[in-house]
Amino acid sequence: MTRVGIVAKPGGVKAEAVIHRLLPWLAARGLSAVIEKETASLLPDVSVASASKQELASQVDLIIVLGGDGTLLSMARAVGDLGVPLLGVNLGGLGFLTATTLDEMFPALEALLTGRMAIDERMLLAVRIFRQGQCLGEYGAFNDVAIMKAAMSRIIDLSVSVEGRHATAYRADGLIIATPTGSTAYSLSAGGPILFPTMDAVVLTPICSHTLTDRPIVLPGTDRIEVTLLADQEVMATMDGQIGVGLKERDTVEVRKGAARIRLVHFPHKDFFSVLRTKLKWGER
């Protein structure tokens, strides 16, 4: 490892002081830094190489993400199939993905340099949206794809096919298609199950279904899922809650397992269950 990328939450004032400490630490160990361009604007007095978010992953061997889970989600989509490991350092709130605390950042980097850190590989979703047989766009999603009504819209009607076979129809406020990583995010809030993060699976979680017997379902990660909007209503498809596309009647959202695997760095002792105990207060009264 010779080059380390640094990206922070946009406008993250707290990150400025962290980066000022981080740069000399890296330099003392013979590592050069490349800072994401928007992050570099936090440090106008520092002369260091910079790159756009889309270019950063192709120029470095590791990316340190300073912020919360939203910052890491955005960077994970930008990394895509390049396979660059991400070390998430939590400067925000809950931090399921950015599980390394600020106090643990330098010990984590020391451990990484000596091969004592673990790296999990997580699945990414590949999303395509079709209108009248034409592909409107292709997107990645690390947590989930959510198909939801607009604020004043009625209950929406959706048809779901799995591997080209009709599976079910939903009348609901929406539908979440989540990765195992995303199973502890929006899907969990909507009543979905928690999946072990390295599983090869997806979960379909209806949002406030009109039919009480509709329940979340876990599907193999290899299955192709197609969700078609059946009525002319104001509906959005959002990827990781950060990218939104308006849908029209008969539009189809196709979701597959992406070819890329996102690599997350963590301490070996910080396994998934320790994160659940810490973040969800499992085992506490």
The tokens for 22 are 């981080």
User: What is the CA 148 to chain-centroid distance, rounded?
Assistant: 18
* Strands 235-239 and 134-141, sheet pairing: unpaired
Question: What are the Cα distances from residue 164, in Å, to 88, 159, 160, 227?
Answer: 37, 12, 9, 11
Helix axes 105-113, 13-28, angle to 10 degrees: 30
- Beta strands 144-149 and 156-162, pairing class: unpaired
- DSSP codes joined into one string, 208-231: S-SSTT---EEEETT--EEEEE-S
Exposure on the CB side of residue 139, measured as CA atoms within 13 A: 26
Is 69 an annotated catalytic residue? yes
Strand 49-51 relative to strand 217-220, pairing: unpaired
Contacts of 223 (CB under 8 A, 6+ apart): 162, 163, 202
Question: Which one of the listed residues 69, 144, 173, 240 is annotated catalytic?
Answer: 69
Cα dist from 97 to 50, 62, 101, 131, 252, whole Å: 24, 16, 11, 34, 30
CA distance 5 to 186: 29
**How far apart are the C-alpha atoms of 77 and 143, rounded to whole Å?**
10
**Look-up: residue for tokens 């209950």?**
155
Could you give the residue numbers annotated as active site?
Answer: 69
